[in-house]
Amino acid sequence: MGMTDNLLSTGQWLFTALLFVLVLIAALRSVDWRAFRNDDAAQHTLFGAAVVLGFVWQLRAGISPGLAIHIFGITVITLMVGWALAVLAGLLALVITVITGREPLMMFAANGLVTVMVPALVSHGIMLWERRRNFRNFFAYIFFCGFFGAGLSVAAAGVVMCLLLWTSGAYSFDMLVHEYLRYLPLFMIPEGFINGAFVTGLMVFHPDRLSTLDQRRYR
């Protein structure tokens, strides 16, 4: 989302840094590193996604600092390699944006939490919900996990970011509504479409690349 220096208070900076570290530790502990080292496809997906996202995130729009708009793309990565590796791919992409000067290093934890971790966890949660519902039609996976999951993930990230900026006093609630929140449903549409389209293509041509897809469940 592009939060810049001096937008968060010291307390919020420390709080987001703590949450960032806790989620990162959970992600690192969730990865089966032995299987990952032996899985060339997963390695190529992770590093390829990091490079692609790193360059896609260079393209953004926005007027006020911290209220930038860009495609996230975290949902499709989460469905391909799981939430933990998706978090790592997103953080590597964020490193690219720091190197290119699009993001400040001091806000790495806050931006990582909002731009990467929240969307990945929301996408993972929706995938688990779809799995527990035990739908038998593969369109349920495409719609709920791909289209709907991506739109909801960007909405959740946007709300979290606005709460941080509002509670820090950087912006008034009215300004956040006027410049960002009222447009949030419009942001959800392209995010859902792009991620959903990629998920659909993978499900048709390379379903084996979707590690969260249980092909035996769909008929």
d(CA 104, CA 118): 19
DSSP conformational letter for 109: H
User: Which structural domain range is residue 46 located in?
Assistant: 10-217
DSSP string, 165-185: HHHHTSS-HHHHHHHTGGGHH
Q: At what angle do helices 149-168 and 184-205 cross, to 10 degrees?
A: 150
Domain count, the chain: 1
The pLDDT value given to residue 168? 87
In a domain, 3, yes or no: no
Amino acid at 43: Q
Question: pLDDT-derived band of residue 65, with 50, 70 and 90 as boundaries?
Answer: low
pLDDT cut 90: percent of the chain above it: 63
Q: Quick check: 195 and 147 in contact, CB under 8 A? A: yes
Residue 98 is assigned to a structural domain of this protein: yes
Most confident listed range (10-14, 36-40, 120-124, 134-138): 120-124
Task: Judge whether 162 lies within some domain.
Answer: yes
**DSSP state, residue 61:** B
CA distances from 89 to 45, 98, 214 (A): 9, 14, 23
Residue 175, in any domain of the structure: yes
79 found inside a domain:
yes
User: In the predicted model, is pLDDT for residue 61 greater than 80?
Assistant: no
Compute the distance between CA of residue 27 and CA of residue 38 in angstroms, rounded to an integer: 19
Residue type for position 47? F
pLDDT tens profile 101-149: 888 889 999 999 999 999 999 999 999 999 999 888 888 999 999 999 9
Question: Has residue 125 been placed in a domain?
Answer: yes
- Global confidence as pTM: 0.92
Return the structure tokens found at 35: 């299987």
Q: Is residue 87 part of a domain?
A: yes
Rounded to the nearest integer, the mean pLDDT of the chain is 90
Q: What is the pLDDT of residues 77-92, one digit of tens each?
A: 999 999 999 999 999 9
Q: What is the CATH number of the domain that holds 61?
A: 1.10.1760.20
* Mean pLDDT calculated for residue range 89-97: 95
Between 118-133 and 149-168, two packed helices, what is the crossing angle to 10 degrees?
140
* Structural tokens at position 22: 């806790």
Average pLDDT over residues 18-24: 97
User: Looking at residue 123, what is its pLDDT?
Assistant: 97
Report the distance separating Cα 111 and Cα 39, nearest Å: 29
Tokens of 5: 């220096």
